[in-house]
Amino acid sequence: MIFLSAGIPENEPDSDFFTTSDIVAIRDAVRSLAAVVLTDNVLVYGGQPAITSLIRYILYKTTLEHKDNILLYQSAYFKKEFPADNEFIPKKRIIDVGIDLESSLSEMRYQMINSHRFSVGIFIGGKSGVIEEFNMFRKLHPDAIILPIASTGAAAKALYHLFNFSDKRLLTDFAYKNLFKNLLTGII
């Protein structure tokens, strides 16, 4: 089982996440990851709308018989704002706890990350939520492989540098399909 934490940062003033993000790379990395892992693995992710839109597109374009291998987690806090793309994701878990945004997201993240045994955590683009999920994932799955795809910029790049990851491919390789095949061979 593979955990994906990803996001496309919005243009916010003074946001290092936005200024370092590579939206095309984020899109390509998510698409390539799905192509590599979905035939034999379950991909679990939280419902950032831009990523859900990408996943929906992947499901629309694919002829895979493994569309049930994607599991979307979503906080019920956003129920009135769920994107239409959510309806096209066959398997989803709506987490209905928390009285405010922060507690709702925190509980959703905890249930998403703690409810499964993950062999790999992959972090693509994103902002502070990706960093929170990274920290929680490391704590709850200390033996899992962790891959911050720093070439996508944003939070993934910050994590790569902050935790001194040494594999330069995470920072420089934009051929994501081959990158994921190479990094995940023998693991999944």
Read off the pLDDT of residues 126-177 as tens digits, 9 standing for 90 and up: 999 999 999 999 999 999 999 999 999 999 999 999 999 999 999 999 999 9
**What is the residue type of 83?**
P
What does the pLDDT read at residue 13?
60
Please indicate whether residue 169 or residue 63 has the higher confidence score (pLDDT).
Answer: 169
- Please compute the mean of the pLDDT values over residues 4-20 and round it to a whole number: 85
Is the CATH number 3.40.50.450 carried by domain 2-184? yes
DSSP for 87-121 reads GG-SEEEEE---SSHHHHHHHHHHHHHHSS--SEE
> What pairing do the DSSP bridges indicate for beta strands 145-149 and 43-46?
unpaired
What does the pLDDT read at residue 63?
65
- Please tell me whether the overall predicted TM-score, pTM, comes out greater than 0.85 for this model: yes
